[in-house]
Chain A
Amino acid sequence: MPPFGKVLVANRGEIAVRVMKAVKEMGMKAVAVYSEADKYALHVRYADEAYYIGASPALESYLNISHIIDAAEKAHADAVHPGYGFLSENADFAEAVEKAGMTYIGPSAEVMRKIKDKLDGKRYAQLSGVPIAPGSDGPVGTIDEALKIAEKIGYPIMVKAASGGGGVGITKVDTPDQLIDVWERNKRMALQAFGKSDLYIEKAAVNPRHIEFQLIGDKYGSYVVAWERECTIQRRNQKLIEEAPSPAITMEERSRMFEPIMKFGKLIDYFTLGTFETVFSDTSREFYFLELNKRLQVEHPVTEMIFRLDLVKLQIRLAAGEHLPFTQEELNRRAKGSAIEFRINSEDPLNNFTGSSGFITYYREPTGPGVRVDSGVEAGSWVPPFYDSLISKLIVYGEDRQTAVTTAMRALDDYKIGGVKTTIPLYKLIMRDPDFMEGKFSTAYISQKFDSMKEALKKREEMLASLATVVHARGLMRKKGIPSTPQERQGRSSNWKNYGIVLQSSPRVMWG
């Protein structure tokens, strides 16, 4: 028996399609919502039903709680899945869904309100024994206070907005002068972006890794930790490549974190999926808690691959009140192999990763053993400029990390997208980098290597443009390419020459 009859997915693009796949497999009906810009989007056509919820800007559509609830009521949905981003961590939205008599697939509004911002998370972490980085215990009021704390814990420090997210509102500060400089500006920025100007200070780890743990819990207080994901390859605090398991930590270090994280979950009565983001230092071998993400993560497929799980289905079942189907020991035994995920963003790596909007005019997806593509686009899709630039995710799996990397090289070569610029060429370079192969990297990886990679990317583009010039100058462009109809295949694109003969030789003409 499916737990619900109809599930509305309050999201767009890749994740909406991914959630709908799980919904369909469980024998339920999937409902999409869409904005003006997404009228012809893949997720809208993939769903069993779709409802228009407003104009293109996210504030009027995907972030508009009342429009989404209206659509859910019109569709008679039983449950709402928020995906990630947009309203996925909005307690008001979860509450509105519950009030409308539907199930919210995710933690309850009450649980979300317990850890409203990053500082609440830090407090609970302290209580449950999850290690945290030294810094201020709460929001820091004045610049004098900030300078004093910074002096005590030592530079470099991180100045963070208490209610920030998605890498926004985080600045690294190396000197007192810089702190004075940054303070007022970040306060203003935090107020503008999140409506609250609270800032706090934390000691910055030097060349850390970004490792996150997947907590899964049911409504009855059982928890498991589905190991970790290494999300160290980032640029400007935005993840690009994620993998599981981390090549840097041992089983002993990993399992040391299980107990405190489960305790954290119990403390706030957390259920369904949650992700504990931590930084990990290669030298001190310590994890420091950053924040708890109360939603499905973008990079959930790497965990799914190594455990052969479907986290979305599990999330739906847990939200419906089912029990956790396995224990930590059973889960540990399931872990096998290595998985890597690449975020295919429509961005131009050569132009400071600015978003590239446009029509996808050429599209070939990789397939084959060990390859999974979670895509929100297809040939002819439009990438609108209003939303996130993530258009697709390529996930590869291998029996070990080495195999996964070789599969990734092949799959990245096979993945051809034309019409918008993507991050694929950059990933091809990273896959051939010995430091990546050996797992030697930190969050500074992209910024450290970017100059040489940029040069290589630039040269590659110029080479292709030169080749195009040669092909053009030699008149080779006129070839039409791979024929798609039987007539073309026989070397005839039109039948006008034979039409008369065919007509006259037909029995009708010959025999009256």
Chain B
Amino acid sequence: MKLYRVHSETGDPFVIVHDQKGNKDILKTENAEFEIEYLGQGWREGEYLVKINGEEHRVYVDNGWIVLDNAELFRAERITELPTQEGQSIEEMIRGKEGEVISPLQGRVVQIRVKEGDAVNKGQPLLSVEAMKSETIISAPISGIVEKILVKQGQGVKKGDVLIVIK
């Protein structure tokens, strides 16, 4: 079993648990599970045939772009393997630790409203990130104590970056 983080070229991160059994790959993501079976080369140059959850699809690889059924487009900017820890459940691997506050978008940190050591309630605003002139306020996912603040005011952040750890 392997754990991957896939960054799409538009900046969206995906954490995927990948299991390979012969021609079949089982992949678990945050909201879904896919069984992808590799059927082999297609009839045409550069074409592969796969079965996704039992349905047959055509895949083209065009200069790093993946074109599915000549309709959907995807490009992985980078795919990195993440270390897995013994005894960690699949859900934990995908979601990250419970108290990790993750940036939902790419932008710049404009204001941090808490200090390390502060007690926060669930839903309390922690910091705001500005992108394309609009400010997004990020609130605490759980109640607890701010253990670590990993960003500074004015710092640029990517989607999926850990901003604050609450314990």
Contact = CB atoms under 8 A, between A and B. Distances in A.
Nearest to A348: B10
A455 B46 CA distance: 31
Contacts of A476: 48, 61
A440 interface: no
Interface string B22-37: 0001010111101010
Contact of A354 (B12, B45, B134): B134
A466 interface: yes
B149 interface: no
A351 B16 contact: no
A361 to B, nearest CB: 7
A327 interface: no
Contact of B76 (A385, A413, A425, A465): A465
A482 B62 contact: yes
A180 interface: no
A466 B105 contact: no
A361 B64 CA distance: 11
B79 A468 contact: yes
Interface stretch (A37-45, A193-201, A262-270, A456-464): A456-464
Contact of A465 (B50, B70, B74): B74
Given A351-B104, A362-B75, A480-B63, A470 B25 contact: yes
A416 to B, nearest CB: 5
Nearest to A420: B10
Main SS at interface, chain B: strand
A473 B18 contact: yes
Contact of B79 (A358, A428, A455, A469): A469
A472 B76 contact: yes
B92 interface: no
A418 B74 CA distance: 8
Interface stretch (B1-9, B109-117, B119-127, B138-146): B1-9
A503 interface: no
B46 to A, nearest CB: 6
Interface string B61-94: 1111111101111111001000000000000000
Contacts of A418: 9, 65, 73, 75
Contact of A467 (B2, B68, B71, B134): B68
B50 A354 contact: no
B76 A481 contact: no
A17 to B, nearest CB: 23
Contact of A466 (B9, B12, B27, B59): B27
A276 B104 CA distance: 39
A455 B64 CA distance: 27
A362 B65 contact: yes
Contacts of A420: 10
A482 B136 CA distance: 41
Interface residues on B, range: 35 or more
A419 interface: yes
Interface string B14-58: 101010100001010111101010100000011010101000000
A469 B4 contact: yes
Interface of chain A, main secondary structure? helix
A477 B61 contact: yes
Given A351-B104, A413-B71, A462-B14, A385 B132 contact: yes
A381 interface: no
Interface in A352-371: 354-358, 361-362
Contact of A473 (B25, B46, B66): B25
Contacts of B29: 462, 465-466
Given A413-B71, A464-B72, A479 B14 contact: no
A209 interface: no
Contacts of B74: 461, 464-465, 467-468
Contacts of B16: 462, 465-466, 469
A469 B38 contact: no
B161 to A, nearest CB: 15
A355 B132 contact: yes
Interface in A408-459: 413-414, 416-421, 425, 428, 455, 458-459
Contacts of B64: 477, 481
Contact of B105 (A354, A419, A428): A354
A185 interface: no
Contacts of B62: 481-482
A471 interface: yes
Nearest to A362: B65
A467 B6 contact: no
A479 B105 CA distance: 32
Contacts of A362: 65, 73, 75
A468 B46 contact: no
A74 interface: no
Contacts of B133: 385
A348 B38 CA distance: 31
Contacts of B75: 361-362, 418, 468
Given A419-B9, A467-B59, A468-B79, A460 B72 contact: yes
Contacts of B61: 471, 476-477, 479, 481
Contacts of A414: 71
B131 interface: yes
Interface of B: 2, 4, 6, 8-10, 12, 14, 16, 18, 20, 25, 27, 29-32, 34, 36, 38, 45-46, 48, 50, 52, 59-68, 70-76, 79, 104-105, 131-134, 136
21 contacts: A354-B136, A358-B10, A362-B65, A416-B67, A418-B65, A419-B10, A461-B8, A463-B52, A464-B72, A465-B6, A466-B34, A466-B36, A467-B74, A468-B66, A469-B16, A470-B18, A470-B38, A471-B48, A477-B64, A482-B46, A482-B62
Interface of A: 348, 351, 354-358, 361-362, 385, 413-414, 416-421, 425, 428, 455, 458-474, 476-477, 479-482
Given A362-B75, A466-B25, A471-B48, 4 more contacts: A459-B31, A462-B34, A471-B59, A481-B63
